[in-house]
Structure 1
Amino acid sequence: MTVTSSSALPSSITVSGHGLVQATPDYFTINLGIEATQATVREAYAQAGDALNAVSTTLLAHGVARELISSSALNVRVETRWQEGSGSVVTGYTVSSTLAVSLRYDQGAEDVIAAVVDTGNNNVRITGLTPVVSDPTAAQDAARAVAWADARRAAELYAQLAGRSLGEPLQIVEGQISDSAPRPMMARAAKAFDSSPMAIEPGQSSITMTVQVTWLLN
């Protein structure tokens, strides 16, 4: 918390307040990596395409809206190995793509992911999960109220220590909103031991707000 006095505004005090509240994410975005390696680009592309189509079909069959599924990167990587006397030798090609899917925690997300893992088998990698609060407005307003109370409490204390009383606010400047999303446990994209769903917990997102307020001193 910082406190300053302003020469441009005599008999005033400027205080920064901070507010933090917790909000529960209601959905998350998961990245599904589709990857296939074959001897030729055509074969790798075909296998990756089959896996991608199978995963998309499974998502749609489990009630995931088409607009919540988006594909991004499409990459082709040359696989090589070092061979004595020949140097680097091409051994195959890997074609990869990524699907970003939005799922709600309260709509059987674990079952959807387990079905995707079963469908894509070894061609699917779960590469990332980002929890999201779809409407953070209420949490942001609550953080604003906490930040305001924090700033006013400090300003009143400093005014009292200076033998003054707090007057009207002259200037209010809001800081940047900070949302630190949790990284909860997620399902593994592997069937080696068990294909049953692994619980996905939403955790809590921390919504932080700062405000800088200048008050008159009476």
Structure 2
Amino acid sequence: MCPPEPRHPHPKGPPVTTRRPRAARTIRLLAATAVLGGLLAGTAAPALAAAPGRTALSAAAPAAEAATVTVAGHGRAAAAPDLAILSIGVEASRATAKEAMAAQKTAAETLLVVLHQQGIAERDIRTDSLSLAPVYTQSAEGESRVTGYQAGQAFSVKVRDIDRTGQVVGAVNDTTRDAGRINGVVFDVADPSALRTRAREAAFRDAYDKAAQHARLSGHRLGRLISLSEGESVRPGPGGAAQALAAEEPSVPLAPGEIEEQVTVSAVFELL
């Protein structure tokens, strides 16, 4: 048998540090970098996807505003009146307030009776005012004192049969005598809506014609209507107004004339 080989003890000395290969550390760094890169890419993807849209919006030039023209149109329409509105009343003066009111009451009742006899309906008679006031007299010494009272009542009366207006006024004069008062008469149309419609149509045609002319003069074509507004309709004045008449006036000639309605519109049109 061969003798065993002799074992040699390890020499004593400082401990030996074992280092892992450099390749393993490199692999771990590359893996961490790949994970971090994936996270960053996922976060930035929505922003990158939206970026082209924002860039396009910021780069787009603002659209040019359409050219417009603003015009005012005026329209008129006239018609013969079919309604007369009388302003009539009674007055009475007496020594005391009670006596004045009683006399006014009697005169007003007489006035209402004659109006009904002339075919005026209740709905067409309206009290506009009722008054009672002291009557003053100035003495030679310059002092004013109450010497009586005056009471009065005013009515607005619509005469729908316009040809009978003078007859109604004459009947009031004859019946109320010194107590009667005819303050005036105004002619009108019972339904002004048809007259206003015609004036409105004329106003719009006037505005359209003006806009078309401006478009032609500026080398454009007239486009769509953008906006339209209307002002308040206007009456030039009371149609056929007659002056106040004295109670003893034997005849009452009246001139109804015609009623005019005016409308103004403002329109904005597009120019092409």
TM-score of the aligned structures, taking structure 1 as reference length: 0.88
Q: Which residue of 1 aligns with 2:268?
A: 214
> Separation in 2 of the partners of 1:208 and 1:175?
10
Letter in 1 for 2:271: L
Greater RCO (Cα-Cα under 8 Å, separation 6 or more): 1
The answer as to whether partners of 1:171 and 1:213 remain within 8 angstroms in 2 is yes
Q: Which of the two has greater helix per residue?
A: 2
Q: 2:266 and 2:142 mapped to 1: Cα distance?
A: 68
Shift in alpha-carbon separation, 1:31–1:106, aligned structure 2, 3 A: closer
Structure 1 segments unaligned to the other structure (5+ residues): 1-7
Gapped regions of structure 2 (runs ≥ 5): 1-63
Q: Which amino acid aligns with 2:182?
A: I
In 2, the alpha carbon distance for the partners of 1:92 and 1:50 equals 18
Larger Rg: 2
Residue 28 (str. 1) matches residue 84 (str. 2) = yes
Identity of aligned residues (%): 31
**Structure with the bigger percentage of strand:** 1
Secondary structure of 2:242's aligned partner: coil
Over 3 Å counting, the alpha-carbon distance change for 1:89 and 1:145 in structure 2 is same
Q: Structure 1 CA distance, aligned partners of 2:208 and 2:234? A: 21
Query: What is the RMSD of the two structures over their aligned residues, measured on CA atoms?
Result: 1.9
> Residue 234 of structure 2 aligns with which residue?
178
* TM-score, scaled to structure 2: 0.71
Q: Label 1:95 to 1:211 Cα distance change in 2 as closer, same or farther (>3 A).
A: same
- 2:222 equivalent to 1:166: yes
Whether the 8 Å CA contact 1:170–1:214 is kept in 2: the answer is yes
Work out whether residues 86 and 184 of structure 2, in 8 Å CA contact, stay in contact via their aligned partners in 1.
yes
SS for the counterpart of 1:108 is helix
Question: 8 Å contact 2:185–2:242 — kept in the other structure?
Answer: no
Contact 1:126 1:189 in 2 (8 A): yes
1:188 — aligned with what? Answer: 245
How many pairs does the alignment contain? 208
Q: Answer yes or no: is the 8 Å Cα contact 2:89–2:108 preserved in 1.
A: no
- For residues 157-210 of structure 1, give each alpha carbon's deviation from its aligned partner in whole angstroms, at most 9, with x where no partner exists: 11111111101111111121112332433672321xx524x1222211211011
